[in-house]
Amino acid sequence: MAVNSPAGARAAQPHGAASLAVEDLVAGYGDVLALDRVTISATAAGITAVLGANGAGKTTLLRAISGMVRPRRGRILLNGANQAGRSPEDMARAGITHVPEGHGVIAELTVEENLRLGMMSWPGMTSRRADRAAALAEAYERFRVLADRRRKLAASLSGGERQMLVIARALVARPRVLLLDEPSLGLAPRVMTQVMDMVMRLSKESGITTVLVEQNARAALAIADHGVVLNVGRVVAAADARTLAADVALRHHYLGF
């Protein structure tokens, strides 16, 4: 599952690396308080891992950042400007692309049709054909396996290839901030490692600010710059990835490795 690095491609994002921070965020569902005054700062142009057990609030955090869950309190700062309370469409236009948990490809569409869906958040219908073609060419250059299968139905792809298509589709949206919810879920260990490697390379080469939610803390910390650990809606630790991975007590209590 080779991932290629087109020379210079995406090296410079149109707006530069985005800074993302969440301050004092409170969010939930009815009586369930899923996030209780959560503050995190994502590494600009790097990977921030969000870790914690099932039910910790990781998915809700990503939903709040992408506008799918409306925060009850707190700020979501994109390059210093508060975005809390904006709609998912507005968040997408601001450059936040969310790949939800268990998000699949559309099996009945071809690889290329799936990729084209990623362009739907481009502003207006004014984008030129040439821009669309360039975005596809870039995706195919980076993901050769998708280029070879562009006319095939997504149903014919393996689990790892599908996950690659999901991430390629997110990149076609040209995000400034990429939110990935458990991209390794359900993948065989070897394929999981390949997907993690791909996420790391994309981050290094594209300057996208990536927030990576994972239950597989060991794998996520291996590629992240920074990590945040949630427990029942609260931040219990935040530090550089190496420090978290070396903390035996933290690993034992919250990270499961």
Ligand X SMILES: Nc1ncnc2c1ncn2[C@@H]1O[C@H](COP(=O)(O)OP(=O)(O)O)[C@@H](O)[C@H]1O
Residues of the shown chain interacting with ligand X in the complex, contacts defined by CB under 6 A: 29, 32, 34, 52, 54-60
- In the shown chain, the binding pattern of residues 164 to 193 toward Mg ion, with x for contact by CB under 5 A and - for none, equals ------------------------------
42 vs 44, beta carbon nearer ligand X:
42
57 vs 227, beta carbon nearer ligand X:
57
- In the shown chain, the binding pattern of residues 13 to 52 toward Mg ion, with x for contact by CB under 5 A and - for none, equals ----------------------------------------
Kindly state whether residue 59 participates in binding Mg ion, applying the rule CB under 5 A: yes
Q: Choose from Mg ion, ligand X, none: what does 52 bind? Cβ within 5-8 Å by kind.
A: ligand X
Closest approach, Cβ 221 to Mg ion, in A, equals: 18
Q: Choose from ligand X, Mg ion, none: what does 105 bind? Cβ within 5-8 Å by kind.
A: none
34 vs 237, beta carbon nearer ligand X:
34
One-character DSSP codes across the chain = ------TTTTSS-TT-PPPEEEEEEEEEETTEEEEEEEEEEEPTTSEEEEE-STTSSHHHHHHHHTTSS--SEEEEEETTEE-TT--HHHHHHTTEEEE-TT----TTSBHHHHHHHGGGGSSSS---HHHHHHHHHHHHHH-HHHHHTTTSBGGGS-HHHHHHHHHHHHHHT--SEEEEE-TTTT--HHHHHHHHHHHHHHHHHH--EEEEE-S-HHHHHHH-SEEEEEETTEEEEEEEHHHHHT-HHHIIIII--
103 vs 201, beta carbon nearer Mg ion:
103
Q: Choose from Mg ion, ligand X, none: what does 176 bind? Cβ within 5-8 Å by kind.
A: none
50 vs 105, beta carbon nearer ligand X:
50
Closest approach, Cβ 215 to Mg ion, in A, equals: 8
